Structure 1
C-alpha cells in the first residue's frame, strides 16, 4: 500500500496537541479516545493551512481544543487554560509570542514551531521572556518539522507562494536564492522526518534541484550523526531500513509544457476552471435552476479517502466522471424509490415494518429501511458532484476548452505543430479566454521549432483578437485590456527566451520513444461541450434533466475521443521515474546525481548492485500540478502487477495554469522581454 502521508502527519499533529506525549502516537492517526486535557490552539495562517485538511473542528474538539485562534488576532486572557502554539519561526511571530507571554494570556504555553527555530530567534525569545519574568510559563519548545500540507495520502505541498518566480527572478541576489533553497530544503526534510525515512536522492546536475538535493543530503546526514529521533518516527519497525525510498527532485524548468497544457481529468479540471484550494472548491449555484436566476456561492470539501465517487473518478477523464455520476445517481434514486414504495405498501396493509414476527419479505424490507440513511448520504454526495460537474461543463463550454486541449495534445503526442490551426484558434475571439490563448501559444512555443518570425506573427494574432470590442454573445467574462494582453504575450516571450538561453532540451518525444503509459486522454476531437442553463439545487425534476443531458454529452464525447484514448502519454516525470527505478542504460539513471545521506561523498559512479525501489518520492521545485500527480499515480497502478511501486508526489506549491501564467507574467515584466 505504501506510506499514507495523511495518517503520518495527523498522528504527529495529534501528538503535538497531546502536549508532545507519545501516549497516543499510533499508526491510525492518534487514537480514538477523547482527550482529558482542555487547551487553546494558537496558530498562524500557514500552520492553519497545515492543520485544516487533516483536522476539522470536531476532531480538534475531540483532542481537547476548546478554541482555535490566529496568532495575529486580538485574543482575550484565559488564565486557567494551557495554550498549544503552532507557528512558523519568523521574527514577527516570535515578537507576537513574546507579547503573549508578557500579558500572561494562558496558564502555560507549549511552543511548537513548524520548522527549525534558529538560534538567534531562540535567544531573542528567551531574552524577552526573562525581561517580562514570564519564562516559567513556557513548558516545552519543540521543532516539529511539520512544514508541509498533506492534501491526499500520496500528495503534499510546501504551500510556498510564487515559488517559480522566487528562483527565476532576474533581480534575486545570491542570498535570496539561498534563503529560498533553504526553505524548500526544510520543507522536504519535514516530510521525510514525519514519515521516518532516509531516502536515496537523485536529481539533475545544476540549478535549484541540485542545490536543494545537496542541502537536504547534508541536513539528513547531520541528524543521523546526532541520533535524531525524527527518522524513528512512524517507521513501524525495522522493515523501513530495508526498503529505503528513492527521492527524485525536479526543477519546473525541466518540463514547462505540462504546467500550461489544458487538462482532461475531473480533478485537474476542478483545479483548472473553478476556485479550488486545499481540497475546497467553490461553485456558483443558481437558486431556481434558470439561467437568469440569482446565484449563490457554495463551498464543497473534496475528500479522496472518504468520498467514494471522488476516490474512484478524481483521476478519470471528465466525460467518464459525468457518465459515472449520472449512472450512480440514477441507481441510488431508484433504490430509494423502491424502499419508500415498499414501505408505504406495507403500512397500507396495516403491518409494522419493524415487527420481528413478520415473514421474510418484511424482514428484508426492514433491512432495506435500515440502509436508507446511508443511501441518502451517498445520494447527497453524488448530488454535490453533479453540481461541480455542471459548473465545470459550463466553464469549459463557454471557453471551448476541448478544442484547445485537442490541438495541444496533438502537438505533444506527435511532436508536430500545425501553425495554421493554432493561428485560427488564436484569431477567433469567440473561442477561449486570453489565458486559454496564451496557454496554447506557450505550448506551441515550447513544443515546436518555429522561427522568431512565426512566433511574432502569432503574438500579433493574439493582439488583434482582443483589439476590437467583445462579441455581443460572449460569455467569457471581462474583456482583457490592452495592458493585460501585452503582459500575457510578455510571459510567453519570457518562456521563448528562457528556453533559448538555457538550451532546454526538447521534452516532447515521439510515441515510439516513450516508456510506459500515462493518464492523458481527450475531452473530444474538436468537440465543444454545451453546458446546461444553470446549476441549481437538488430539485428532482431539474436534476433528472441535467443527468439525462450530461449522460448524452458524455456518450458523445467518449465516442469522439476513442481515437485519442489509445494514445495516452506518459509525462516527463513519469518517464524519469521509470528510467531511474529500472536502472535503464543511456537514460537519466546515468546522468542524474546520486546522493546518499548515509554514505558521505557517494556519487553516481560509486553505485553498485542497487535493489529495486518500492517507494518513490517525486518533488517538483517551482510548483507542481494535478496532471503530473495523476500521471504518476497511473504509473504506480500500472506497476502494481509486476513490480509494486508506490509514488508520493510533492511540490513547492500546487499551481493551475492560470497561476503559473501569473508568475510568468511577472518574470516577463521584470526581464523586460
Structure 2
C-alpha cells in the first residue's frame, strides 16, 4: 500500500519514491504499532499527516491516503481534490467504500479536473489493529461502542445491539480477508458471541457465493498462512469468565499493561522529578512524560514479555553487566589506537588487536542499540517494581491464584481487605470480586454485609459488586463455567536471591504453575475435537457449506492445526499469555488471540462500576 499498491521496486538510484501519507485516527492506530517513523522514511514517506488538519499544498508529490470511508473523510478528500494539494492521489480505504461515496469522489475529481490524478482506489480490508504476530484488537477509536459495558447495558435497544454486532463483524470479516482463509466457526449459545457468529457466517457465505467478486479466491489466497487446512474460529463471550480480567498478574507484559500507561505497544512513564525544592508559592513543575515503544523489534521484550517479573529484573541486570564488559573492551581498543606510533610495544599490540578492533567497532551500532534497550527496560521495570512494592501486588497475585485454583488459603479474605498496608481500594475490590465470582457457593447475605462494610471502610466503590451480583445470579441460572476450574496445587514461593541491583527484597519470586484459564480450556476442547460438557453444545458454522446447518458437526473429528480465539466484550494480556504458554506444549499448532477491545483491570472495573450504578 505504501508503495502505491505494487510490489516494492527501487528506482535506478536505489532511492524509494518520496511521498506523503495522509491518515485518519483509525489509520494512525493501525500503522503505529507496526511501523516506526524510520521504517516509514525507508519506504519513502517524508511526511505523515492527519487528514483533518490544515495541510499545505505540495503539488509535485504523490499522496497515499489510508482512512475509513466515513462521510467526513470523503468530504475532506473531495476538498483536497478541489484544492489541488498533491500530484497524485492513491486512496486506500480501511473498510470497503460504498458505491454512493465512490461516486461522490468521482464527482469531486471531475469538478476539479483531477480525474487523471486519482491514480488508484483500493478497499484494503484492514479494519483491525495488529499488536503482536499472534494478537489483534478491533479498534481503539470509539472503542466504547463495542465495549463490555455497551454490549451488557440493561437498557440497550435491539437496533443498538445490531449496530454493535455489525461493527464487530465488519472487522472480523476484514481480518479473514487479510488472512486469506475462510474459518470453521464455533461459538457458545445465547449470548453476543452467538450473534457475531451468525452474522459473520452470513457475510462470509454471501461473499463466497459471488464467485466473480469473492475475496477468498485467486491472488488473495496466497496471503493466507493456512495453506493446507482451514482455521478454527472460536468466538467466546466475555461473560464466561469475569475473574481473569480483574486478576493481579505476574508476567512482564501483563504487569506493564496493568500498572502503567501502556497503549498500542507504547508505554508512557513519568520521569522522576528532581529533588530540588521549589520557591514558596511557585507552581510545581509539570512532570515530563517519556514514551517507549515495546514492539516486535525489541529483542529483550520479545524474549521476556511472558516471563515472571523477578526473572525480568534479573535479566535486565545480566544484560547490563554483559554490556559493560563489551563497552570496556571497545574503550580499551580505542585507547590503543590512539597511542604514539614510536612506542614499539604499542605497535605490536596494535597489530595484534586490529582484527579485534575492527570486530568491536563494526558491532558498535548493535552495542548502542543494546544499551538503549537496557536503559528502556531498566526504567520500565523500575516503574513496575515501584507498584509491586507499594501495593504488595505479589501478595495479591499469589492469593488470587489460590482462589482461582481452589487451593487452601493461608489468610482470610476479610484480613486481606482490612489490611491498610496492602494495596489500593481498587486492588481490594478486584480481589473480592474474584473471590465472589469463583466461589461455588456465594457468601450468605450476613457475610456479604460484613464484606461490604470492610470494603466501604477501605474506601471501595461498591457499584462493581452490584453488577457482578446480578451477573452471578444470571450465570447460575445458565450454569456458570467458573465451577469447572481445574484443581491445582498451591503456588511455591521463595525469597528472591540477593545480588540484583533491582532492590527486589520482600517481593516474592513466585513460581508460575501452568493453569489453563477458561478461554484456553475451551480452545483446547475445540481444537482437539474433544468431548467436554463446556463445549459440547457449541454451535458449528461452515460458511463454505451450501446449506448452513449448525447441527452438522462433521463425523470425522480431525483436530485443527490453526485457531483464532476471539473474545466478544474485551480481552487482556493475561488470557493472551495463557494461550501462548498453552500452545507451546502443542507441537505444530498455531493460535491467534483477538478481542473487541483490550482493557486492563482498572478499565474493566470502571465498566463494571458503570453497569452497577443504580
TM bucket normalised to smaller = 0.7 to 0.9
Distance 1:219 1:34 in 2: 44
Q: Secondary structure at the match of 1:569?
A: coil
Residue correspondence of structure 1 range 76-225 to structure 2 within 5 A: 76-122=56-102, 125=105, 137-160=117-140, 161-162=143-144, 163-225=147-209
Residue deviations 1:553-583 (CA, integer Å, cap 9, x gap)? 39x722xx35xx3x43111111111111221
Structure 2 vs 1, CA of residues 492 and 223 (structure 1 numbering), >3 Å: closer, same or farther? same
Q: Secondary structure at the match of 1:219?
A: helix
Residue deviations 1:171-216 (CA, integer Å, cap 9, x gap)? 2211111111111111111111112111111111121111111211
Query: Which of 62, 65, 74 is the aligned partner of 2:54?
Result: 74
Show the counterpart of 2:40: 60
Show the counterpart of 1:411: 403
Structure 2 vs 1, CA of residues 307 and 508 (structure 1 numbering), >3 Å: closer, same or farther? farther
Show the counterpart of 1:255: 241
Q: Secondary structure at the match of 2:593?
A: strand
Show the counterpart of 1:608: 555
Deviates more, 1:452-461 or 1:501-510: 501-510
Matched, 1:499 2:490: no
Q: Secondary structure at the match of 1:170?
A: coil
Show the counterpart of 1:447: 438
Shift of 1:57: 2.2
Q: Is the 8 A contact 1:193 1:231 kept in 2?
A: no
Q: Is the 8 A contact 2:11 2:17 kept in 1?
A: no
Deviates more, 1:361-370 or 1:375-384: 361-370
Residue deviations 1:635-654 (CA, integer Å, cap 9, x gap)? 111112xxx11111111111
| Alignment root-mean-square deviation, CA | 3.4
Shift of 1:98: 3.1
Matched, 1:340 2:331: yes
Structure 2 vs 1, CA of residues 266 and 33 (structure 1 numbering), >3 Å: closer, same or farther? farther
Distance 1:192 1:510 in 2: 32
Q: How many residues align?
A: 595
Distance 1:35 1:176 in 2: 50
Matched, 1:265 2:251: yes
Show the counterpart of 2:412: 421
Distance 1:352 1:576 in 2: 74
Q: Secondary structure at the match of 1:616?
A: strand
Shift of 1:664: 1.4
Show the counterpart of 2:281: none
Query: Which of 300, 309, 319 is the aligned partner of 1:309?
Result: 300
Shift of 1:422: 1.8
Greater helix content: 1
Q: Is the 8 A contact 1:198 1:231 kept in 2?
A: no
Deviates more, 1:594-603 or 1:287-296: 287-296
Unpaired segments of 5 or more residues in structure 1?
1-15, 467-484, 530-545
Structure 2 vs 1, CA of residues 361 and 37 (structure 1 numbering), >3 Å: closer, same or farther? closer
Show the counterpart of 2:539: 593
Query: Which of 374, 378, 382 is the aligned partner of 2:370?
Result: 378
Shift of 1:589: 4.7
Q: Secondary structure at the match of 2:312?
A: helix
Matched, 1:456 2:449: yes
Structure 2 vs 1, CA of residues 232 and 176 (structure 1 numbering), >3 Å: closer, same or farther? farther
Shift of 1:152: 1.1
Structure 2 vs 1, CA of residues 498 and 288 (structure 1 numbering), >3 Å: closer, same or farther? same
Show the counterpart of 2:516: 570
Structure 2 vs 1, CA of residues 237 and 610 (structure 1 numbering), >3 Å: closer, same or farther? farther
TM-score under structure 1 length normalisation: 0.80
Structure 2 vs 1, CA of residues 573 and 374 (structure 1 numbering), >3 Å: closer, same or farther? same
Q: Is the 8 A contact 1:285 1:296 kept in 2?
A: yes
Show the counterpart of 1:557: 508
Show the counterpart of 1:481: none
Query: Which of 5, 16, 19 is the aligned partner of 1:39?
Result: 19
Query: Which of 11, 18, 28 is the aligned partner of 2:3?
Result: 18
Q: Secondary structure at the match of 1:93?
A: helix
Residue deviations 1:612-652 (CA, integer Å, cap 9, x gap)? 32211111111110011111111111112xxx111111111
TM-score under structure 2 length normalisation: 0.87
Q: Secondary structure at the match of 2:125?
A: coil
Q: Secondary structure at the match of 2:555?
A: coil
